[in-house]
Amino acid sequence: MASVTSLTASVHQRLADALASALPEADGVDPLLRRSDRADFQANGILALAKKAKANPRDLAVRVVAGITTGDVIEDVEVSGPGFLNVTVTDRAITENLAARAADPDARLGVPRAEHPGTTVIDYAQPNVAKEMHVGHLRSAVIGDSVVQLLEFTGENVVRRHHIGDWGTQFGMLIQYLDEHPHELDHRAAEVSGEEAMSNLDRLYKAARKLFDSDDAFKTRARRRVVDLQAGDPHTLAMWQKFVDESKIYFFSVFEKLDLEVRDPDIVGESGYNDMLAETCRLLEESGVAVRSEGALCVFFDDVKGPDGKPVPLIVQKSDGGYGYAATDLSAIRDRVFHLKADSLIYVVDARQSLHFKMVFETARRAGWLNDEVTAYQLAFGTVLGKDGKPFKTREGETVRLVDLLDEAIDRASAVVREKAQDLSEAEIAERGAQVGIGAVKYADLSTSANRDYKFDLDQMVSLNGDTSVYLQYAYARIQSILRKAGETGPQARPELALHEAERALGLHVDAFAETVAEAAREYAPHKLASYLYQLASLYTSFYDKCPVLKAETGEQIENRLFLCDITARTLHRGMALLGIRTPERL
């Protein structure tokens, strides 16, 4: 079903038509419509157009205005300044448009579904096997999940890839140790919780490391194990699989706590490209993209140099024959482009890996795997800082465990919920506490643009005032409570009613949802949606302060205001879901 066009889009269309009939060469020119404080919208497109046509912009503006029909959608249009158009829409158009949107059975709230969707492979939520997850892994997971939701909602085919770190030399040590101490991971997987799985791994890792550092014979055996692993020795592989499985139990428990869906088949770690590595190197070497240098297979770049001024290459294969991170990523590109048939590749990875991706993408372009039609983009994110503005560490200077942070957020949020709770049971407080706490953590991450660093400040995150998810969740719950109190009287659009200023402002903002989602999806920018939602909640608050809902003057007005409440709530709910955040019905 075709989606409901926004009011913004129909005003846009009318202006474009008027422009084209005033000036034939203006056909297809963007009237540059913006929301404005002076009127509902302002169009600035005439200026550039007049300049190009060597016409007087005010004269042209007057001619355009003459071609616009007013009364049904557009209430009034005026020329202002050097040739801007100030456009006011009718109250009826606002209400009717929202009503059409509310009636859409697909509940898409005006957001169109792409007619010719592409395929995007998104690489996110990629922790490392046998290691604790830290705040950096939080960002990738949270941002990546929101981008997945945004893209899928706009109709894109999305393939998720969790490129976990499950390959490398440390596994030789771990495997050898486990082989010599076979009972240390003995248990039936189903009975082990995430925390337990991690502490098992942690214990094993420490013990293995200790032996590795103190016992030369063990060290030699461990090194030999790496070779066995890479050669695919079945027994060694089976041992390695144990580590991966154990780690996954832990990962899944953290993702579940984060209220994020991660599916097993989408976890394709570094090891998943093992069979492609030799061929990737061969292709690069044969095409001359990579060259041998001091025994290693390297790709050089004019603009990548070390502090000594010497070029720093991307090493695809080390001189001892081993493959590293770059070979895996290049093979993953081949898989994603040629096998998964992607048009776009997104990597949600820490900005500190930007040089790596720059070199990897450039190499893939030179090899012809990427080009203008098939592109790769690193959605690079900044660092999570402590309250002191320095990278987030414990007092002992260690990286903070992600689970500890999440637990603390949930505790704080539960306290907030408990304090405000009126008719909630203990179980409900616990459930809402988790939804509010995890929502707070996600929102703090998503409301700043990804490339910026942000401070992890739980006090601020769970605050009821200001730009927080708690504020948005309370706005939503408050609306639900009004709708419940309304009893028999249901939300009903009444387009014949004149609207209060605060109702118009709210209505016009709800109208902008589709454009906002489209922009956030196109730019991989969840923070644009977050700031839209915050504004929505703020406009709702001022509507609620100025316009009595259940005590409005007439029955029709009560219905129409309930309708505005309802469409606001639905927009909040949908928007928050696109950020991966729950909106409890009661708080």
Positions touching ligand ARG (CB under 6 A) are 123, 126, 128, 163, 165, 329, 332, 347, 349
- Least Å distance, CB 361 to ligand ARG, is 11
Q: Which is nearer to ligand ARG, 137 or 412 (CB)?
A: 137
Q: Which is nearer to ligand ARG, 176 or 247 (CB)?
A: 247
Q: Which is nearer to ligand ARG, 121 or 185 (CB)?
A: 121
DSSP codes, 359-399: HHHHHHHHTTSS-SSSEEEEEEE--EE-TTSSB-B-TTSPB
- Least Å distance, CB 125 to ligand ARG, is 9
Q: Are 342 and 119 in contact (CB under 8 A)?
A: yes
Give percent helix, percent strand, percent coil of the chain, each to the nearest 5: 55, 10, 30
Beta strands 375-381 and 344-350, pairing class: parallel
- Least Å distance, CB 126 to ligand ARG, is 4
Q: Are 248 and 242 in contact (CB under 8 A)?
A: no
Q: Answer positive or negative: Cα dihedral of 516, 522, 442, 260.
A: positive
What radius of gyration, in Å, describes the C-alpha atoms of the chain? Answer: 29
Q: Which is nearer to ligand ARG, 110 or 127 (CB)?
A: 127
Determine the Cα–Cα distance for residues 344 and 375; give it in Å rounded to an integer: 5
Q: How far is residue 224 CA from its own chain's centroid?
A: 42
- Least Å distance, CB 342 to ligand ARG, is 13
Q: Which is nearer to ligand ARG, 19 or 402 (CB)?
A: 402
Tokens encoding 390: 């320095």
Amino acid found at 234: P
Q: Which is nearer to ligand ARG, 137 or 432 (CB)?
A: 137
- Least Å distance, CB 130 to ligand ARG, is 12
- Least Å distance, CB 324 to ligand ARG, is 11
For residue 289, the tally of other CB atoms under 10 A from its CB is: 20
Q: Which is nearer to ligand ARG, 130 or 572 (CB)?
A: 130
Determine the Cα–Cα distance for residues 32 and 12; give it in Å rounded to an integer: 8
For residue 48, give every residue at least 6 positions away whose Cβ sits within 8 Å of its Cβ, in sequence order, or none: none
Beta strands 157-161 and 119-123, pairing class: parallel
- Least Å distance, CB 247 to ligand ARG, is 12
Tokens encoding 132: 């604790």
Amino acid found at 49: L
- Least Å distance, CB 575 to ligand ARG, is 28
Tokens encoding 455: 């401070």
Amino acid found at 248: K
Q: Which is nearer to ligand ARG, 149 or 247 (CB)?
A: 247
